[in-house]
Chains A and B, each alone.
Chain A
Amino acid sequence: MLKKDLILKSPVSKTLGIENIQDGRFGAVISRAGVGKTSFLVQIAITQLLRNKKILHISLVEPIEKINLRYSDGYTNLIDSIGYVDPQKALRLWEDIYPNKVGISYNELTFDTEKIREYLKSFKKADLALPSIIVMDGLNFDKDVSAILEKLDHLSQEFSVFIWFSIRCHREEKLCADGFPIQLENYKTLFDKALFLNPVEDKIEAIILKDGARTDLKFKLDSSTMMISEEG
């Protein structure tokens, strides 16, 4: 019951749609630094956890403690958004779903997709369910990432896993003609979904840039919790 309530209340349900999260290969959450890309990605991941699916969170910029903290904060925000919940019940649910999340912190300079492949292969070997999505946080799209993306694309196909990326854009850069930030322009064919987070006054506007026929839909999020804003 609590699970269902939380899934319904998740900002991901409203913006992307639950079934839609892992439909395709690549997805991107784009924004300037500090707006909330990672927090939104964590909400995507938590939604999957609530659906009893496994997720793999890879960060090239944050240590494992920080990743874990983001998940507990994200869950607390989601719990708070549905009003009063028995804390024991909430804790039990978290203890139940949290083990399905694996966080890995890699050094950006030495990151190699082969390590992920090794890990994913072990799931097949042990006949275990594979992670449904991989969250890839901190890949620097200001550099040429075509080689890494190509490898990750193979990985996505080999293991049928959807990969969500965070992409940082810059305030001073202009958007491309079709509204995409310049960082995504060269790779946009690879991405099935793209969501742009834009700070507007004290809220964050989540704009669907690409998601099949759903484009340019706008949602308002609370800037501190990333939950759907009541006023929006």
Chain B
Amino acid sequence: MIRDLKRVRNIGISAHIDSGKTTLTERILFYTARIHKINEVRGKDGVGATMDSMELERERGITIASAATYCEWDKHNINIIDTPGHVDFTVEVERSLRVLDGVILVLCSVSGVQSQSITVDQQMKRYQVPCIAFVNKCDRSGANPAKVCTQLRDKLGHNSVLMQLPIGLEDKHEGIIDLVSMKALYFEGDNGEKVLSKDIPAHMMDDARKAREEMIDAVSFFSESLTDAVLEEKEITTELIMEAVRIGTISRQMTPVFLGSAYKNKAVQPLLDAVVDYLPSPLDIENQAIDMNNNEEAVILESSFDKPTVALAFKLEDGQYGQLTYIRVYQGCINKGDTLINSRDGKKFKAGRLIRMHSNQMEDVEAVPAGHIGAMFGIDCASGDTFVSPQINYTLLAMHIMEPVISLSVVPKDNKAQINMSKALNRFTKEDPTFKTYVDHETGDTIIQGMGELHLEVYVERMKREYGAEVITGQPRVAYRETITQKALFNYTHKKQTGGAGQYGRVSGFLEPCDEDFLFVNKVTGGRIPTNYIPACEHGFKACMEKGPKLEFPVTGIKVTLEDGAYHAVDSSDMAFKAAARGGFLEAYAKAKPVIKEPIMKVVIETPNEFQGSCMGLINQRRGIIQGSQEEGVMSVVESQVPLSEMFGFSTILRSATQGKAQFTMEFSAYKQVPQSVAEEIVRKKLEEKSKK
């Protein structure tokens, strides 16, 4: 691994589903000589793209798990993570962005900025990741890169600047004009590997000059020397422009936009140049950790190899050699045999086999230095753990993980499947923090929870393929929540005298709605409840949140204020106050007008114009709220908010309503109160279920 960090790039490739991320990655690997043959996503050769190493990924033509690889370009070491586009696997994007220094945001030149591009953009903002944009598919009918550049401004608020002009579009797309060097670039050879630099065609010269002027005008904000050169009408060198673009990009004040067609092998090499020229090296990015030994103060990490090691485990995978832990080293260096500490539980371990990944293949390395991404075997840890040298106790900020919104019961077909299923679930829950599982004590069923139908479908399929665990799945269920809508008082005394030591505790206060999941405020004064019993009270209230008294759904959004109470010198105990808290909670909850909340999804349908009305109709029939619809060329986009419970089987319905020509994306938006009529139906079903048990 290169130790000169100026020549290291850790980048991700993110975009809306089907924008061509994996296709682009395949070209990058080919041009950087990491692979010697280009395979297509869902390829006719039956091989599938290199980065889609999972059998299921190759069959479905989608990326499910993010895959890491590396390559070299212009003496730079580029670590790449290819991420899934489908929102159900968004945690993969989330954790990749947590450890990356820069991103290539891929956009389709026909569809432009789509719903998932917006989600990825929000994730990039969360982790302050700089990006360059690549407007792909310029060979497609209806391609309009200038429109996409404008959409980047209007829809995402990027200061997008075109760095290239296309030479021809759609089936006439031949190459690009580089506005920095003012050269026309063509890509020849069987796989576009020969880059020919020629003079700009005469008929495009005026457009190119104008576009270059606009580009220089936009980037001159980031460099005084460039501004001076413009004002003093001096020669504007390539270096001056590149320096300004680099400053603007790294500071996230501008997004340079590049064009091409990965599938047609056009303009991928200039994009690689841009990665090297404009995206940050680990030295350009400031990373922070929290010093647990020093009042959780923020410390800036230095990408120096001599400093104590700080690394983040961002992804786990179970392979044939045991658990594989992907790590990003932020400071110091992990050498084989080094002693490290997992700062979450303080456990010491020795770094064993270290590797760097290339899709599903591995290459052994002796060390993973700061600024690099690697993987290690044989470590028992969780996703998001921080590994540090023994002399320090730092923690890196964890990733943003969403709560699952959909669940499914799974019943193994036979005894063998039972054992394999538990093995599989154990592994999947470790790998994916948005995939959860538990046993419903009342029915004895195993319940799996995830981010969407596809998410769960993929795991059920993987259980079968990778573990031979055949399961029967139940109907998908929505993760409802309960909450209260008004303030209510409680004053509850728990008193029991059944021989021996009694139980006594009184709690008094009120419940009220709040935005947090759970808040506990202690306002007891004068020792009415001794301080040592307060945690028991809090614990008692919190325990009630797990299963709501109304319909046994988890309760959220409650603030408990404990104002008063009483104790008994002999009969009071932690247990008595826990019971009192439970009694108090139940007493107030019933008076606080409890309601059921359901997950509402943001659903975006892209459909040919002629089916727009029908698609809007489908949303209407599902208690959906249409937020708007826009015709864009031959396609229309319908944006809406729809309850998840109404979306089961929607893909089949949409297909039949639009002759299979429309597609949709769905992602969690918010929890909202269910209408009264629906709430009644949920109550009825719940009671029915109970009576069956």
Contact (Cβ within 8 A) A119 B628: no
Q: In the complex, what distance in Å separates the CA atom of A106 from the CA atom of B636?
A: 9
Interface residues of B in 586-632 (CB under 8 A from A): 609-610, 612-614, 616-618, 620-621, 625-631
Known A115-B613, A121-B617; contact A106-B631, beta-carbon cutoff 8 A: yes
Known A110-B609, A115-B612; contact A125-B628, beta-carbon cutoff 8 A: no
Please give the distance in Å from A52's CB to the nearest CB on chain B.
Answer: 15
- Residue among B621, B626, B628 making CB contact with A67, cutoff 8 Å: B628
Contact (Cβ within 8 A) A105 B621: no
With an 8 Å Cβ cutoff, the count of chain A residues facing the other chain is 25
Query: Does A114 have its Cβ within 8 Å of any Cβ on chain B?
Result: yes
Contact (Cβ within 8 A) A126 B621: yes
Query: Does A128 have its Cβ within 8 Å of any Cβ on chain B?
Result: yes
Q: Which stretch, A96-104, A156-164, A171-179, A203-211, touches the partner chain B?
A: A96-104
- Residue among B617, B626, B629, B631 making CB contact with A125, cutoff 8 Å: B617
Q: Which residue of A lies closest to B613 (CB)?
A: A118
Q: Which residue of A lies closest to B638 (CB)?
A: A104
User: B630 — which chain A residues lie within 8 A by C-beta?
Assistant: 63-64, 104-105
Contact (Cβ within 8 A) B626 A102: yes
Please give the distance in Å from B115's CB to the nearest CB on chain A.
Answer: 13
User: A106 — which chain B residues lie within 8 A by C-beta?
Assistant: 631
Known A65-B154, A102-B626; contact A122-B631, beta-carbon cutoff 8 A: no
Contact (Cβ within 8 A) A103 B609: no
Contact (Cβ within 8 A) B618 A64: no
Please give the distance in Å from A157's CB to the nearest CB on chain B.
Answer: 19
- Residue among B612, B614, B628 making CB contact with A103, cutoff 8 Å: B628
Contact (Cβ within 8 A) B613 A114: yes
Per-residue interface assignment for chain A, residues 12 to 23, with 1 indicating a CB less than 8 Å from any chain B CB and 0 otherwise: 000000000000
Interface residues of B in 621-659 (CB under 8 A from A): 621, 625-631, 639, 641
User: B631 — which chain A residues lie within 8 A by C-beta?
Assistant: 105-107, 110
Query: Does A123 have its Cβ within 8 Å of any Cβ on chain B?
Result: yes
User: B616 — which chain A residues lie within 8 A by C-beta?
Assistant: 102, 104, 118-119, 122
Interface of A is mostly: helix
User: B155 — which chain A residues lie within 8 A by C-beta?
Assistant: 65
Query: Does A117 have its Cβ within 8 Å of any Cβ on chain B?
Result: yes
Query: Does A223 have its Cβ within 8 Å of any Cβ on chain B?
Result: no
Query: Does A116 have its Cβ within 8 Å of any Cβ on chain B?
Result: yes
Please give the distance in Å from B314's CB to the nearest CB on chain A.
Answer: 35
Please give the distance in Å from B395's CB to the nearest CB on chain A.
Answer: 37
Q: In the complex, what distance in Å separates the CA atom of A64 from the CA atom of B639?
A: 10
Q: In the complex, what distance in Å separates the CA atom of A105 from the CA atom of B610?
A: 14
Q: Which residue of B lies closest to A59 (CB)?
A: B630
Q: In the complex, what distance in Å separates the CA atom of A128 from the CA atom of B617?
A: 11
Contact (Cβ within 8 A) B609 A119: no
User: A115 — which chain B residues lie within 8 A by C-beta?
Assistant: 609-610, 612-613
User: A105 — which chain B residues lie within 8 A by C-beta?
Assistant: 628-631
User: A125 — which chain B residues lie within 8 A by C-beta?
Assistant: 617, 621
Contact (Cβ within 8 A) B617 A122: yes
Query: Does A68 have its Cβ within 8 Å of any Cβ on chain B?
Result: yes
Q: In the complex, what distance in Å separates the CA atom of A106 from the CA atom of B628?
A: 11
Known A65-B154, A117-B613; contact A104-B628, beta-carbon cutoff 8 A: yes
- Residue among B154, B617, B626, B641 making CB contact with A118, cutoff 8 Å: B617
Q: Which residue of B lies closest to A110 (CB)?
A: B609
Please give the distance in Å from B384's CB to the nearest CB on chain A.
Answer: 34
User: A107 — which chain B residues lie within 8 A by C-beta?
Assistant: 609, 631
Contact (Cβ within 8 A) B628 A68: yes
Interface residues of A in 4-41 (CB under 8 A from B): none
A-B contact pairs, 18 of them (CB 8 A): A64-B639, A102-B616, A102-B626, A102-B627, A103-B627, A103-B628, A104-B616, A104-B628, A105-B630, A110-B631, A118-B612, A118-B613, A119-B612, A119-B617, A121-B617, A122-B614, A122-B620, A128-B620
Beyond A64-B628, A105-B630, list 16 extra A-B contacts (CB 8 Å). Answer: A64-B630, A68-B627, A104-B630, A110-B609, A115-B613, A116-B613, A117-B613, A119-B612, A119-B613, A119-B616, A119-B620, A122-B618, A122-B621, A125-B621, A126-B620, A126-B621
**Which B residues are closer than 8 A to A by beta carbons?**
154-155, 609-610, 612-614, 616-618, 620-621, 625-631, 639, 641
